[in-house]
Structure 1
Amino acid sequence: MSRYAPRRPGDVARFVRREVLGLVTTHDADGFISTPLPLLVETDDAGTIHTIIGHFARANPHVPRVEATPRALVSFMGPHGYIGPAAVSKPGWAPSWNYQLAQFEVDITLEQDQGDAAIRALVEAMEGGAWEPEQMGERYARLVAHVVAFRARVVHQIARFKLGQDEDRATFHEIVGALGDSPLARAMIEQAGDVDAFVAES
């Protein structure tokens, strides 16, 4: 297993649920197109993602594409950043770039009559009941008419969390200290081999 593989079952699902916005890419004889979309995931009992759920605008060129060629790539990019030598006291240390990335090869199925359900599921995930589509009034029905839901079955996935796992303990602490209270620093601590010890020393 790669040293940059997520440490725990369910780490990828937690990462995707935190990021939400994924890049959906399709391809046909005319080339590639990509669209950023807010996406939800379903997992099995072990926390592995098996389905990605979202919706397209009906005018989006992905719609006719996936009807003809369902295979697509969905990518999520998390916190990332350049780590310069000034952050580290170790002689000869080279610059690095830390990041979180998850990619899913999927087969997309359009669900023509599920636009309302897809939007409500996303609103519930983001708002937790604090706001509901009915508050839009008549405009909501017009909006739903212009979207088409989809379910994307995961065929293959790759996750690479390059977050300082190759650094010695002292260098790791220096990098996290240089990053301050940032999403990238928090991601590094989350994926560290001994989070409790790190927190105790910080």
Structure 2
Amino acid sequence: MSNSAQPAGDVIPAKSFAHFTTDDVRALVAEFPLAWVSTPRGPIGLASQLPLIGEYDDVGRLSALIGHLARANPLAEALATQRRSTILFSGPSGYVSPQYAGRRDWAPTWNYTQLKILADIEIGPDITPFALKVLIDASEHGRPEPWRIEEIFSRYQRMAAAIVGFRATVRTLEGKFKLGQDEHIDTLGHILAMHPDPDLVRWMRRFNPGA
């Protein structure tokens, strides 16, 4: 719901929720790596939530996503033949009540972050070891005693045989980051001070650096 109406005398320029940077894409993929990977096969399509790790080009643009899935997952066969996927990332989101805005003449809304990616898929056992390594390295990074795949060496081959890795090369990317950019500064300040979701507040501050 729009909250474009502002107190008398205040004019807030319209801003596009589709304006974002390569750093915003990198941060969203890194912080919220569990994405929907889908293909149009079947009456309603096939989709699974899978953790994905981003690869980036020389100027920081997302160029590919690395992942893996169980061979028993019907999506594995579909990706091998369809070789095209829509991938959806969803970051922090939440309901914003007028209570948080500090105004009764303000309509409630939802703030959210999302990326929609069309990708070409390369899938096969040759990618599996690399896919596992990059996911484990990213997930264990910063822990006092990072877990290493060598710790299950005796079982690794059997477990790895049940999964298959893939690389999704990004063809198109669209995003929407609705994070209060169109709110009056006083209203936004109330929301940032009152909203109970720290992740959503942090991303709202990211897109409203002057607040």
Secondary structure of 2:86's match?
A: strand
Equivalent residue for 1:120, pick from 125, 133, 153: 133
Indicate if the aligned counterparts of 2:179 and 2:207 stay in contact, CA closer than 8 A.
Answer: yes
- Equivalents in 2 of 1:41, 1:53: separation in Å? 6
Deviation at 1:93, TM superposition (A): 1.1
- The 2-side partners of 1:178 and 1:2 are apart by 23
Say whether residues 1:56 and 2:72 are aligned partners: no
Q: Of 30, 39, 46, which residue of structure 2 is paired with 1:33? A: 46
Correspondence 1:124-135 to 2 at 5 A: 124-128=137-141, 130-135=146-151
Q: Does 1:157 align with 2:170?
A: no
Q: CA deviation at 1:2?
A: 5.9
Shift of 1:138: 1.6
Q: Hey, what's the Cα distance between the residues in 1 that align with 2:112 and 2:89?
A: 11
The answer to whether the aligner puts 1:96 opposite 2:109 as a matched pair is yes
Deviations 1:109-158, CA, capped at 9 Å, x for gaps = 11322212211111111113711011124222211111111111111111
Q: TM-score, normalised by structure 1?
A: 0.89
- 2:188 matches 1:172: yes
1:190 aligns with 2:206: yes
Distance in 1, Cα, partners of 2:163 & 2:190: 48
Give the share of equivalent positions with the same residue, in percent.
34
SS in 2 for 1:46: coil
- Check the 8 A contact 1:20/1:39 in 2, yes or no: yes
Equivalent residue number for residue 5 of structure 2: none
CA distance in 1, matches of 2:169, 2:160: 23
Question: Which residue identity does 1:162 align to in structure 2?
Answer: K
Write the distance in 2 (CA, Å) between the matches of 1:192 and 1:73. 29
The 1:90–1:31 alpha-carbon spacing in structure 2 relative to 1, beyond 3 Å, is closer
Which of the two has greater strand per residue?
1
- Residue 87, structure 1, aligned to residue 100, structure 2: yes
Structure 2 residues without counterparts, runs of 5 or longer: 1-13
**DSSP 3-state at the match of 1:166:** coil
Q: Tell me by how many angstroms 1:78 deviates.
A: 0.8
TM-score when scaled to structure 2? 0.86
Pairwise CA RMSD:
1.8
Of 114, 139, 145, which residue of structure 1 is paired with 2:155?
139
Supply the AA of the counterpart residue of 1:190: R
Secondary structure at the counterpart of residue 164 of structure 1: coil
Whether the aligned pair in 1 keeps the contact of 2:15 and 2:181 (CA below 8 Å) is: no
Give me the whole-angstrom Cα distance separating, in 1, the residues matched to 2:100 and 2:31.
Answer: 27
Q: How many residues align?
A: 195
- Residue 22, structure 1, aligned to residue 38, structure 2: no
Partners of 1:10 and 1:46 within 8 A in 2? no
